[in-house]
Amino acid sequence: MDIEWKITAEDKACVKAIVERQRNSELVRQERNLAATKPSVTKERLWQALVSMRLTTLAASGPESKLAKFQSLSPFPLAYDTVRNQQSPQDFIRSTLSTHQVGTHRKKISKELAKAFELLEDHEWQRALDQCNRLIHMEPRETEAEVANYITDTFSGFGPKQARNVLQELGLTRYEIPIDTRVTNWLNDELKFPFQVTSTALSDRHCYTLILDAVYKLCEECGILPCVLDASIFSAQDEDAKAKGHDARPDPQPV
pLDDT at 60: 63
CA–CA gap between residue 59 and residue 220 (Å, rounded): 31
> pLDDT tens digits for 112-167?
999 999 999 999 999 999 999 999 999 999 999 999 999 999 999 999 999 999 99
Low-confidence stretches of the chain (pLDDT < 50) are: 248-255
Backbone angles phi, psi at 137, to 5 degrees: -115, 160
- CA dihedral sign of residues 159, 160, 162, 164: positive
pLDDT at 249: 43
Distances (CA, A) of 51 to 111, 118, 166, 169: 12, 14, 9, 11
pLDDT at 253: 33
Distances (CA, A) of 14 to 19, 189, 212, 222: 9, 11, 17, 10
Through-space distance between the first and last CA atoms of the chain, rounded to whole angstroms: 28
pTM above 0.85, yes or no: yes
Directed axis angle between helix 160-169 and helix 43-54, to 10°?
A: 130
Q: Do 45 and 248 meet the contact criterion of CB atoms below 8 Å apart?
A: no
